[in-house]
Every structure is written in structure tokens, then in C-alpha cells.
Amino acid sequence: MADDKDVLRDVWFGRIPTCFTLNQDEVTEREAEPYYLLLPRVSYLTLVTDKVKKHFLKVMKAEDVEEMWFEYEGTPLKWHYPIGVLFDLHASNTVLPWSITVHFKSFPDSDLLHCPSNSVIEAHFMSSIKEADALKHKSQVVNDMQKKDHKQLWMGLQNDKFDQFWAMNRKLMEYPTEEGGFRYIPFRIYQTMSDRPFIQKQFRPVSPEGNVHTLGSLLKEMYPAAIPSDGEQKRYQVMIHGIEPLLETPLQWLSEHLSHPDNFLHICIIPTPTD
């Protein structure tokens, strides 16, 4: 299991300074001031924006308010992706604070899932954890947990309690030493240049010959364009939690240390900035 607690802590406490402004088409009784917030990378937009909603509702009439949703430079932001993934995918090379526009009208049904309550976020989060454990341990660990253990994972995320979350998540990161890693690595590869939401396939942390698979081996198979050929200029950045890990990093180590709380390794592939 992951013994590098500092890395886990750094990942958990990663924050993105963000400025929320109300869309100019919204009807307000007086001017709406922007609202500033440090967003946790590992959480979900709809889980951490109650204060944002309260702030803007002060200047609006109840009849002008429908479901709140967020947009960045014309792109509706999918609340069911972790905040860090949204930032890395759409805004990683912009000047901070991240500038998000808030809407209370014209919900884009074709682009976003509705999120009427926190229980919808909890259901999405727990289904991701179960899917990840099916890949890692054939669901044995998550099925051995009690309902209160599942709740502890969720409450740890919802209330931003690192120790509470990891006391339970630790079990999901264990594996028999002789196996050298999980059965499969739960990962998703995102790119803005594609209509596919993400790439997700079965991939083992160790090859049949016993060689350790790295981030480079995963990309070579799933997205070869992300690896520059000899002498070629780097066309893409491969980001996990806002950093570019070395391609030689073992995938098993990344899965244990840089997965999001949903137990998936979220990898963003973005074009290298040209400036």
C-alpha cells in the first residue's frame, strides 16, 4: 500500500483559486459581485459551491432561479468530473484565478447531467469506487465493507477530512505482494480534441513477462501520439493533478498515490501551449 503519505496529502489538499461571475444575461435586482473560492481539486463542483449559490441568490428573485450550472469560455463544465480534471482539461494554461461563469437559466441538457441534490453526487462517487474495485480486486474489497464504511469514504470527501477518508480508502489500495499490483489499473484518459468522453480499457500494472508497466507503456498502447518520437517536438502535455509525471513512473505507484478519491487515475492529454 501507499506509504508515501506526503504525496497523498499534497494531492488531497490541492486547491485552485477560482473567480465565479454571474452570467450577464441573468436577471438581477442589483449588480452581482464576483465570488472567490479555493476549489479542492479532488472534489466536485456541485459539492463545494453552496456558498457561490447563496452569494448570487442574494441579488436574484426566486422566480428567475432554476438549476445552477457552470461554464468556462463557452464550455459547460461537467460536475461529475473531478474539479482538477476540469481545470487541467480546459484551463491549465490560463492565468489564475480560474474564471468560471455561473448560470441559473437555460440548463444545457445535451451537455450536462442534472444534479438536484448531494445524494446524486454520492451515488456517482460510490459507483466509481465500486467500478474501480471491480478492476483492482474483482470487487472483493468493496463488497467486504459495510454500509457505514462506504459512508465513511463519502463523508470524508464531502467534509474534506483526509484522515477519515484514507483510514478506509487504504483498504482499497492494498494487494497481495506476490501479485506486484492490482489486477487492472482503473484509469481514464481525457482529451479536448475528441468527441469521446474518455478512454478506459483494461490494462495491467505488470506485463505477462513480469515487467513493470509505466505511464509511458499505458500511453503507448492507449494514446501513442502523446509520446514524442525521437527528435520530434512535444505536441502534448500529459497531466495528472496539474503536474506532468515522468513517463517512466510505474503505473501501480501512480494508481496508489495519484488516483482521485473515486479510485481512478484521471489523465488529461492537452496540446502543448504554443506561446
Q: What does the alpha-carbon distance between residue 238 and residue 228 come to, in Å, rounded to a whole number?
A: 11
Distant-in-sequence, close-in-space partners of 193: CB < 8 Å, separation ≥ 6: 271
Q: Is 46 exposed, middle or buried (0-12, 13-18, 19+ CB in 10 A)?
A: buried
Q: Is residue 39 part of a domain?
A: yes
Same domain, 189 and 261: yes
Question: Which residues partner with 40 through β-bridges?
Answer: 15
Q: Is residue 163 part of a domain?
A: yes
Q: What is the CATH classification number for the domain harbouring 79?
A: 3.10.20.620
- pLDDT tens digit sequence for 64-88: 788 999 999 999 999 999 999 999 9
Which residue range forms the structural domain that includes residue 249?
174-269
Split into its structural domains, the chain has a count of 3
Question: Which residues partner with 76 through β-bridges?
Answer: 71
**Final residue of a structural domain among 86, 112, 138:** 112
Q: What does the alpha-carbon distance between residue 104 and residue 88 come to, in Å, rounded to a whole number?
A: 25
**Final residue of a structural domain among 153, 171, 189:** 171
**Final residue of a structural domain among 72, 93, 112:** 112
Q: Is residue 2 part of a domain?
A: no
Same domain, 152 and 199: no
Same domain, 179 and 155: no
Contact 251, 217 (CB under 8 A): yes
Q: Is residue 274 part of a domain?
A: no
Q: Is residue 6 part of a domain?
A: no
Collapsing DSSP states into helix, strand and coil, what is residue 104? coil
Alpha helices by DSSP H, listed for the chain, are 5-12, 50-57, 83-90, 118-137, 140-144, 147-158, 162-172, 215-222, 251-257
Instruction: Tell me the residue type at 78.
Output: K
Collapsing DSSP states into helix, strand and coil, what is residue 29? coil
Same domain, 230 and 251: yes
Same domain, 198 and 223: yes
Same domain, 147 and 206: no
Q: Is residue 1 part of a domain?
A: no
Q: Is residue 243 part of a domain?
A: yes
Same domain, 130 and 197: no
Tens of pLDDT along the chain (275 residues) come to: 445 888 999 999 999 999 999 998 877 788 889 999 999 999 999 999 889 999 998 888 878 788 999 999 999 999 999 999 999 999 988 889 999 999 998 999 999 999 888 899 999 999 999 999 999 999 999 999 999 999 999 999 999 999 999 999 999 999 987 788 999 999 999 998 777 789 999 999 999 898 999 999 999 999 998 888 877 888 899 999 999 999 999 999 999 999 999 999 999 999 988 76
* pTM, 2 dp: 0.92
Q: What is the CATH classification number for the domain harbouring 201?
A: 3.10.20.90
Q: Is residue 4 part of a domain?
A: no
